[in-house]
Amino acid sequence: MPTFKDYYTVQLHDTDAAGILFFANQLKIVHNVYESMLTKAGFGFQDRFRKRDFFIPIVHAETDFYHPLKDGDTVEIILEIEKVGTTSFTLSYKLTIFDETVVGSAKTVHVTIDPESGKKIPLPGKFKEKLQELACND
């Protein structure tokens, strides 16, 4: 199954008063990987904002935490395109540390909208093709 992989080292500013990853920062980390994947696929955000042909906001996000992360921990994040629909797509993320311990997971659902009206639109052809190419092909 095709995946997109990236790494992130937890910084001091990512942690809370207890010295562990602040819960909201797990979403920030996976969003960084999402942005990297889009850029590599040729659909980076700067291009979206410049062209204004379609936007792809997140309409649902969920995360699970299985093991605390601390300042200095390097995390491997694996992004998989779980589902490609007519107007939306779902991404799943698995976060692991060096010994392959799964420390967290996340899922995000994205929908394509028209930037002017804010209304949902079908996934544009080339974008949908790229997602399907990268998606699970079971």
Give me the average pLDDT of each 10-residue run along the chain (138 residues).
Answer: 84 94 95 91 77 89 96 95 94 91 96 94 92 69
Closest CA to 104 of 1, 23, 7: 23
Q: Which of 16, 53, 64, 114 is catalytic?
A: 16
pTM above 0.75, yes or no: yes
What pLDDT, on the 0 to 100 scale, is given for residue 2? 57
Q: Is 53 a catalytic residue?
A: no
Pick the CATH number of 4-134 from 3.30.70.360, 3.10.129.10, 3.40.50.2300, 3.40.640.10: 3.10.129.10
Q: Which long-range contacts (CB under 8 A, 24 or more apart) does 42-45 make?
A: 42/130, 43/127, 43/130
DSSP string, 83-108: EE-SSEEEEEEEEE-TT--EEEEEEE
What pLDDT, on the 0 to 100 scale, is given for residue 1? 46
Q: Are 131 and 84 in contact (CB under 8 A)?
A: yes
